[in-house]
Structure 1
Amino acid sequence: MADRAQYLECSGHSHQINGSYLQVPINCSANCLCHTYINNTPSAAACRKERLCCSFRTGGSQNAYIIRVHANGCMGYQSYVNLDPGLPFAKWPAPGLELMWATPQEPPCKTKLDCRDLPFSKCSPDPSNAGQKRCLCKKGRYWDPASGYCQKCRRGTGCKYHKNHTPVIGSSVGVLVLLALTGFLVYRQRKYMKETARKTLIREREEILNANPSGKSAKIFSGKEIKKATSDFSRENVLGSGGFGEVFKGILDDGTAIAVKRAKPGNSKGTAQVLNEVRILCQVNHRSLVRLLGCCVELEQPLLIYEYVANGTLFDHLHRSDMRKRSPLSWLRRLLIAHQTADGLAYLHSSAVPPIYHRDVKTSNILLDENLDAKVSDFGLSRLVELSEQDCTHIHTSAQGTLGYLDPEYYLNLQLTDRSDVYSFGVVLLELLTSMKAIDFNREEENVNLVVYMKRIFNEERFMTVIDPMLKEGASQVELETMKAIGDLAAACLDERRQNRPSMKEVADEIECVISIITGDDPKT
């Protein structure tokens, strides 16, 4: 895990007295990040007058750092994933938690036909489980759980190599000459191997990117071109960061504004997500999906280049006070954003060939352009539904997504369906209605998770009391009724049993009908 959390100690006692236990490097100085957080966050204003405000960073192994906070010891705390302390507060990522999942094993099989979707593998007995067969990688390849692919063996991957031992022959007279010649040859050999490995890596990446069922391939940009566009990845051009890596703004020579996604160095999982996103975006073309311009595979980390969307994320507009004051979203605009997002997801589920499940639908992955129209982004976790899987009711896969948006049935059973995206979209609808975050540790303990909180509100028939006051102010009776209708739709999307949830197409049609009630226009037939 790589989280940085803000720990706000707001009592007048020491950590030992009040029952808090910290096994982490903790910073309670006047210039720690905690003060930056509370000074820029209106909801944390109460902590400014307290004596202690501390920050700490987790990391390392699964249990390397531990925090236990007792009820009377801490006024509030917040968590960020991969927070760069050098960034100004306005460019901090959305608060969140990063969970560690068990890495997936090779796919199970019964016959060799079951392994045809995993190149360079064959159906063989599982050495760790007698009686079980799996698609094991052939000699010279190794299983990479991050990409779900049999990668070619290179040094450092755990594959066995046979070293060539050159006998040393010489005499005392020729030792120095022999050493010098050997050193030169070793240098030349290492340089050659490094360059060969780089070219092989580029070629393998291009093969992965071009292995699309539709036959479409991405435009390839040069590393020199992208470095120039981003001022060599200047920190001033950082648009945001997350678990995968960072996004930079750039300007091409023809004046085109671009956004460049780069996995963090050494992050093989982030690299796999970038390559997967290129494959996904090559399959799709829809006005509500972010448009891929191309990619760059010749640098150490592959780069994804897509259109620059000027107005930030839906998360920013709903949850950052400066954005809410500068450009508040009306109820009609929120409905239009919801419909555009639902329409884009319905296209992925029903019209894309093969179908695509997004797996990470959330407000920070919905971008708004200059007209505040929505574009769904970040397909790094998305899953193509292969032809052999289209007749199945679900796909077995490791659980991936974001805390607060993750379908509980997918999380528990590892069964991915299009209804998993529907559940996540239901959380987005709740955020549009209430302007509350999906996960917020500043709320009371039982209300931290927005879905859990709202289900209790629904049961108590107090839904209108939690609607964003900005929406209720000056709203007509018709608009208030449509808010109730969208609340009912959100509840249907969040049904614990996936078979009871509507499809994404049904959700989009319902929202379009609600919009027509407000505007007086007939919905499309």
Structure 2
Amino acid sequence: MDLFSVIQICQGARVITPSCNLRYEIYSFYGNLTDVGPPPPPVPVSNRSSTPQVEINQKSHRSHSTIVIVIPIMGSLVLIISIASICILLRRKKRKKSATNLNKEEIENFNSLQYSFEAIKVATNDFSNDNYLGEGAFGAVYKGKLPDEQEIAVKRLARNSVQGDVQFKNEILILTKLQHRNLVRLLGFCFEEEEMLLIYEFVINKSLDSFLFDPIQSSSSSMPWETRYRVINGIARGLVYLHEDSRLRIVHRDLKAGNVLLDTDFNPKIADFGMAKLFNIDQTQSVASTMVGTFGYMAPEYVLHGHVSTKSDVFSFGILILEIVSGQRISSFKIIGEKPENLLTFAWNKWLEGKAWNIVDPTLPSAFSTEILRCIHIGLLCVQHNMADRPTMSSVELMLSSSSLSLQVPSQPAFFTRSHTPSNATSQGNTSIRSI
């Protein structure tokens, strides 16, 4: 029962506070003559002598009733307000304590991940050329070994780079909160003497692109379909974790073969989270102020309007599937004896003609034709022009794991064109961009 209901069943009450004056009576007391009604009839002369006493008794009774009612109501109000105040204070104290503990925990985690520059310098033999592994988006990567014999990969970000500084902080923030077998693991970092270093677990088989596109490596030992299929499934699981299962919702924004590392058993590990974007758990998309990513892998709504969502990663994943199946980069796709077209156009035309096998790497055996053609189908669903027509990564994972699940018919993919790729597309197509 609320306060107003309590007052309604009482004869009269009054509550006075510094900011409020509340009064209730069963008679009109506010002096509005228009609402008072007609004046009482004149009192007969014979009863005039007893009127004062009656009025005194009525006023006394009314005053007594008011006091009797006001006291319990005021007591109840004070009790309710006190309880409410205590609850609010306790809740605020709990929240403040929780926030304090979280910040303290994060600070302790960061401190435990810090390495001295001297220690990393020793581990990499002063960043010698013998330990050089390659060039990343914002700096060189070196192999190293810690005193406990653990092998590490060290990304040395370019000095005095604003973008490198942003990437450095972003990657630490994200990877310290994530843990999944299909994501590369951050072991630590160093930020001193104008040096920004990120220390990762060393993944022995380097990146996926070195096996798919390197003419020397791929010609000597072509990656078998069983391995390619394991890589496709592992990348899908990693993206499902980023999009739906982790405590953060993350869009990678630069998913490509060069950012997928392979361990001893060729299990994929998604790497390079410097461009990743954090979303609120209920957020579906946002508009990027700066364009980052790699030509050929970026979704059309991102390229044209800067719209970022989990479906942006789905598009990149679709491109990856087609590259893994064909064994060729999207930027330099070419089939001998066929009209020159880009990968998406060629795949779509062959799909319509019922000749999708023409896109498949010729080193792959036809024994896996059903599974390979299904992957091409899933890849085409992922690269639809309209982001709403693309499946979620959890749906993709289900499609890959269940061969009995029927697939929707894809429509024309994004960036469909019959114009051939320019002569300099190979270098341009694999260039990471920062702003447009």
The TM tier, using the shorter chain, reads: 0.5 to 0.7
Q: What's the RMSD between the two structures over aligned residues?
A: 2.5
Q: Which amino acid aligns with 1:456?
A: N
Q: 1:403 aligns with which of 290, 295, 309?
A: 295
Counterpart Cα distance in 2 of 1:373 and 1:440: 26
What is the rounded CA distance, in whole Å, between the counterparts of 2:355 and 2:109 in structure 1? 51
Q: Does 1:436 align with 2:328?
A: yes
Counterpart of 1:254 in structure 2 is 148
TM-score when scaled to structure 1? 0.54
User: Which position in structure 2 is the counterpart of 1:127?
Assistant: none
> Cα offset for 1:355?
0.7
| 1:487, distance to aligned residue in structure 2 (A) | 0.7
Q: CA deviation at 1:353?
A: 1.5
Residue 289 of structure 1, aligned match among 153, 158, 183: 183
Tell me the secondary structure at the aligned position of residue 461 of structure 1: coil
Displacement of 1:514: 4.4
Distance 2:253 2:105 in 1: 20
Which ranges in structure 2 are unaligned for 5 or more consecutive residues? 1-102, 406-436
- State the Cα distance separating 1:291 from its structure 2 match: 0.7
- CA positional deviation for 1:391: 3.3
- TM-superposed deviation, 1:412: 1.1
Cα contact 1:359–1:381 (8 A) shared by 2:
yes
CA displacement at 1:449 relative to structure 2:
3.8
Structure with higher helix content: 2
What is the correspondence of 1:134-283 to structure 2 with a 5 Å cutoff? 216-217=109-110, 219-283=113-177
Q: Does 1:451 align with 2:344?
A: yes
- Structure 1 outlier segments of 4+, above 6 Å: 210-215, 441-446
Provide the C-alpha distance between the structure 2 equivalents of 1:448 and 1:296, rounded to a whole number of angstroms. Answer: 46
Distance 1:216 1:280 in 2: 13
Structure 2 counterpart of 1:505, from 394, 399, 403: 394
The 8 Å contact of residues 157 and 195 in structure 2, kept in 1 or not, is answered as yes
Deviations 1:412-433 (A, max 9, x none): 1211110100000000000111
Number of the residue aligned with 2:263: 369
The superposition leaves residues 90-149 of structure 1 with CA deviations (integer Å, 9 ceiling, x where unpaired) of: xxxxxxxxxxxxxxxxxxxxxxxxxxxxxxxxxxxxxxxxxxxxxxxxxxxxxxxxxxxx
Partner of 2:370: 481
- Structure 1 residues 291, 447: CA separation in 2 closer, same or farther (over 3 Å shift)? farther
Instruction: Pick closer, same or farther for the CA change 1:416–1:500 going to 2, 3 Å.
Output: same
Aligned residues: 300
The offset of 1:219, in angstroms, is 0.4
Match of 1:48 in 2: none
Shift of residue 371, structure 1, vs aligned partner: 1.0
Instruction: Identify the residue that residue 243 of structure 2 maps to in structure 1.
Output: 349
Say which SS state the counterpart of residue 458 (structure 1) adopts: helix
Partner of 2:223 in structure 1? Answer: 329
Matched, 1:316 2:219: no
Q: In structure 2, how many angstroms separate the alpha carbons of the residues matched to 1:452 and 1:296? A: 45
Q: What is the correspondence of 1:387-426 to structure 2 with a 5 Å cutoff?
A: 390-397=281-288, 398-426=290-318
Deviation at 1:256, TM superposition (A): 0.7
2:379 counterpart letter in structure 1: A
Residues 515 and 280 of structure 1: CA distance in aligned 2, closer, same or farther (over 3 Å): farther
Flag the 1:348–1:441 CA change in 2: closer, same or farther, 3 A. Answer: closer
Amino acid in the other structure paired with 2:208? L
Confirm whether residue 461 of structure 1 aligns to residue 350 of structure 2.
no
Which whole-Å deviations, capped at 9, do the CAs of 1:17-58 have from their partners, x for residues lacking one? xxxxxxxxxxxxxxxxxxxxxxxxxxxxxxxxxxxxxxxxxx
1:118 is matched with which residue? none
What is the one-letter code of the residue matched to 1:418? T
State the identity %: 35
1:237 Cα deviation (Å)? 1.2
Cα distance in 2 for partners of 1:392, 1:377 equals 23
Question: Is this contact kept in 2: 1:404–1:449, CA < 8 A?
Answer: no
TM-score normalised by structure 2 residue count: 0.65
- Once residues 144 and 341 of structure 2 are traced to their aligned partners in structure 1, the CA distance between those partners, rounded to angstroms, is 37
Cα 1:353–1:467 change in 2 (3 A) is same
Which residues in structure 2 correspond to 1:87-98 (within 5 Å)? none
- C-alpha distance in 1, partners of 2:108/2:243? 20
Whether the 8 Å CA contact 1:247–1:260 is kept in 2: the answer is yes
Paired residues of 2:260 and 2:270 also in contact (CA < 8 A): yes
Q: Structure 2 matches for 1:60-75, cutoff 5 A?
A: none
Cα offset for 1:238? 1.2
2:381 to 492, 498, 521: 492
SS at match of 2:177: coil
